[in-house]
Amino acid sequence: MTSMNDRRVVVTGIGLVSPMGCGIEANWAGLMEGRSGIGPITRFDTDGYATQIAGEVKDYHPEDFIPKKELRKMDPFLQLALGAARLGFEDARLTLDESVATRAGVIMGCGLGGLHTIEEYHRVLLDAGPRKMSPFFIPMLIGNMASGLISIYHGAKGPNLSIQTACAAGTHAVGQAFHMIRNGLADIMATGGVESTVTPLAVSGFNAMRALSTRNHEPQKASRPFDLDRDGFVLGEGGAVIILEELGRALERGAGIYAEMIGFGLSGDAFHMAAPAPEGEGAVRCMVNALADAGIRPDEVDYINAHGTSTDLNDKYETQAIKRVFGEHARKLAVSSTKSMTGHLLGAAGGLEAAYTALTLERQVIPPTINYETPDPDCDLDYVPNVARAATLRVAVSNSFGFGGTNGSLVLRRWNGQ
């Protein structure tokens, strides 16, 4: 067993359910094609809504992963979490028996939890009264039930936590799981993020903030990070579960390795409920902290999977933050936003994008930022416009920044077998 100071952490499994598809290869094919997963909302009648488009999960069948009698007890976000977790464990070829169960844990990020359930049972209460409420109402909606059910279904008896930090939740979950393994509190962690909020309340609420794109006539072109003509983010849904393991254990069992996790940084803006701090001041400190945690110089980073939401201030300030952290090297960095294809999965975004970053390092191809058509003078980096790009990549960063001024950055390194 390695000493605590020498413990290294690797990605050995990835489970994905997103607007790009179900599973690694469906997601990767979509990214390489530069295909948008955005379309008209089908979950409810959008007549009268300013925004009528979203990144919905289309080809996921929860009954393939969860017993039918259990489905009625679960909000859609829980169904997505369990599907992604099963795909992740299967990809890692990992079963948690009693010999490892107490050293295996779960940390999941989620932004809003069971919004479908809240809306449905509010109607039940008003129409039929309190006696018609389900006894599963509370367990169905609370955010920590994603990590709880993954633990129950897979027998993980170690750390079990839920992170609710808005759009940074998935990144914070992965980062905390990484630190738990590195610090000797666990050997295996299932981690990531999940969200399912394509609902009337969420869409109308974000519309009231004027945060969402209203490019309803061109849904596939609506998410356009860093482009001058961007008009807001596109709501997405999905789940991503990454299996992290202590390196020695992974090698001992002959696990496949996608990438090594080497750093995690956090910061707070202390500025505004929804707007990022001017010039990306909080994002600067977050990335600096992550690089320091990884022991990596700025000029060693080759690629950034940006937060890149397609909102005016976020894209502008993230660009400024990257230039402040990386200096002249920022001009040599490849920066792309996969949200241009998936939309913004809120609390699931960081988990999905960490998985995409690991795959980018493994496969040495950078996903593009699609819909980049009119350069914005305030966004003047290399955003890998519209077409995937083969590249030699060693170190990558994945950024997430959330409402309340909460920031997270992950640093991953290509696994070269050493």
Label each residue of 380-401 as H, E or C: CCECCECCCEECCCCEEEEEEE
Tell me if residue 307 is catalytic.
yes
Helix (H) or strand (E) holding 259: strand 259-268
Catalytic residue, candidates 22, 110, 307, 379: 307
Sign of the alpha-carbon dihedral angle for 315, 321, 327, 332: negative
Q: How many CB atoms lie within 10 A of CB 21?
A: 21
Write out the two tokens for 179: 């630190």
CA angle 360, 364, 365 (to 5 degrees): 70
Q: Is 5 exposed, middle or buried (0-12, 13-18, 19+ CB in 10 A)?
A: exposed
d(CA 305, CA 120): 36
Catalytic residue among 167, 172, 286, 379: 167
409 and 170 in contact (C-beta within 8 Å)?
Answer: no
* Distances, alpha carbon 366 to alpha carbons 107, 122, 276, 362, in Å: 27, 44, 26, 10
Quote the tokens at residue 182: 């590195």
Round to whole Å and give the CA distance between 77 and 66: 13
Asked if 344 is an active-site residue, the reply is yes
DSSP 35-55: ----EE--SS--TT-S--EEB
- The dihedral through the CA atoms of 188, 395, 81, 85 has a sign that is negative
Number of Cβ within a 10 Å radius of residue 13: 26
How many angstroms separate the CA atoms of 334 and 147, rounded?
33
Q: Which residue has 């959008």 as its token pair?
A: 46
Q: How far is CA 182 from the centre of its chain?
A: 21
* AA letter at 45: D
| Distance (Å, whole) CA 132 – CA 154 | 32
3-state helix, strand, coil in the chain (%, to 5): 40, 20, 35
Residue of 264, 352, 393, 253 lying closest to 18 (CA atoms): 352
Active site residues: 167, 307, 344
